[in-house]
Chains A and B, each alone.
Chain A
Amino acid sequence: MYFSSAYAQASWTVPSHASLLSSRYAASHGAGGSPTTLEFRSPRPAPDLVSQLRAHGYAADAYANTPYFDGRFGLTAHFDRAFVLPPVTDPLPSAADWLLATASAPFVFAHTYAVHNYADLQDGLPRRPDGRWRCPAVVDPFKRGSFALMRGRSALSCAESRARYDRAAWCFDEALDRFVTRLKAEGLWDRALVAIVADHGESLCDGAAGRGARKGHGQLGHEEQLRVPWVLKLPGGRFGGRRVETPVELIDAAPTILAALGLPAPESFQGRDRMPEAAGAPGDPAAPVFAETDGGFAVRAGGWKLLWSPSTGWRLHDLTRDPGETRDLSRKQEGKRLELTAALHDHLARQHGPWKVRVRGPRGRDTRLRLSFDAPIVHAAPVFHEKGDGVSVATDAVNATFVSQRDGDEDWLLVETSTPSTRATLLVEIDGAPADASLIHTARGDAAGPQPWTVPPGADAAAAPSAPRDGVTVWGLLDATPVTRRIELPPALREALRRAGYAP
């Protein structure tokens, strides 16, 4: 069975896997950060596919040759055991070893960098007599100081990138064949439930030619980075050969697997059981699918795609007429852009808690607080204002300013926005003029919060939220309960990532 139009919920490894396992959108589970700045966040604790299977008697092992399955990233919290293998090691043989040694109810997760490391596949390896590629015994991304090969990829020509990528895909296919052949020989394959997915795709000079060509993954939400394979083989080959063409999301994988096993899904799951479509029920071709990128968003509905990223701003694409997503129609098709913006707003507003801002201003003076966000605000509204007045919101296509007008004593403002992964700037005006920085006292409401404040110049961000007699005290926090945990990498791994080009 094949879901031929499956979409990852993030375009890089950590948040996408958190979505895959927990069946939650990135804005909901909170895992992410940026591989380019080495700022990572682990997912909020919640049930996932692993915990649910273990609750029903399964033993669960994970085998990966990628650093993100180190326990510090929070993706493996519910496994019995998780092994981060050297990057030269194919995780599938280890997974097969454990499967064949486990008598009852094994669940194995395997994650491989076999395709990710395509830039390290050197030229000059001869083809086999049958004309097929010869795969190297190992792929060692550390040996040339290019752990994730971000630099290696960008240095390759477009033609060479595609050639090496296709060859890496072929080599993974060979590894998969060895895995399947072994399990078939041992009689395990036919009775197993097998799902094969990708966490995201890769841009291989897609889009416009020349400098406009897209490379890599993580920053953008174009089709080649989000559309991924999802193969599902049920025990006994049930529904074999069927294809589901309507768009689905990777967060659907966990509830679908549980449903196929006759097990319930936790209430926290946001994905849908797709077994009805597998059994022949019609899907909804216009149902929206959502994803987050490194600082941006994407929504596809029907044949349309709306994207926002810090580098590109809003982009609207007609996937039917322009599958390469080269022509931005966000101005020409204003109605469609607003329609998809509204869908994105509704989606994001459901995922996370509000910004919470507490304001205390000097009595008898008009104190205004502005929260200016660095990413588009498709939704901003006060959800709670203790005094019930003096609040207004101004928005435009790419930003918004939230203004709280205060006179005197303290109150709370809770501002709901659709900016789960951006920064806000605090601006304070007293009696219509920018406040003297010496009068503004700011502090983060929760030091463990994932969103740093950008404080006004001169303000003391570390100051305690005291109540100065002649000034304004502002502090706030984002979605404080529960917060994601910032990940502290061990020095050796951090250094390896830096050498590899992941560092700023």
Chain B
Amino acid sequence: MKTSLLAAIVLLAPAHARAIAAETAPPVILISVDDLREDRVRPDLMPRLSALLE
């Protein structure tokens, strides 16, 4: 019984750790804009994106 319980703890530990990490992990957002050249990131053309640089 003790052996089975220990085995169960060992087996469940990684999944448990992952669950804890997932609960506290920040959301990740990756946005890819097709065709956008760097020199267009300027306040008069893209004010909201430019504001994210501040």
Contacts and interface: CB of A to CB of B under 8 A. Distances in A.
Contacts of A196: 31, 33, 49, 52
Interface of B: 18-19, 21-23, 25-41, 45-49, 52-54
Given A105-B27, A109-B30, A228 B48 contact: no
Nearest to A169: B40
Given A2-B53, A109-B32, A58 B25 contact: yes
Nearest to A227: B38
A195 B29 contact: yes
Interface residues of A, number: 71
A240 B25 contact: no
A172 B33 contact: yes
B33 A112 contact: yes
Interface string A192-208: 11111111111010000
B18 A56 contact: yes
Contacts of A200: 34-35
Given A193-B28, A194-B31, A229-B38, 14 more contacts: A1-B53, A102-B27, A109-B30, A111-B32, A116-B35, A165-B40, A170-B45, A173-B45, A191-B27, A198-B38, A201-B35, A204-B37, A229-B33, A235-B26
A105 B25 contact: yes
A20 B32 contact: yes
A110 B19 contact: no
Given A4-B38, A227-B37, A104 B23 contact: yes
Nearest to B37: A201
A107 interface: yes
A34 interface: no
B54 A241 contact: yes
Contact of A170 (B31, B35, B39, B46): B46
Q: Please list the 10 inter-chain residue pairs (A to B) with the smallest Cβ-Cβ separation, ordered nearest first.
A: A57-B22, A201-B37, A198-B36, A105-B22, A116-B34, A116-B35, A177-B48, A105-B25, A192-B27, A173-B46
A110 B32 CA distance: 6
Contact of B29 (A111, A193, A227): A193
A198 B35 CA distance: 6
Contact of A108 (B21, B26, B28, B40): B28
A110 B10 CA distance: 38
A193 B32 contact: no
Interface in A171-214: 172-174, 176-177, 180, 188, 191-202, 204
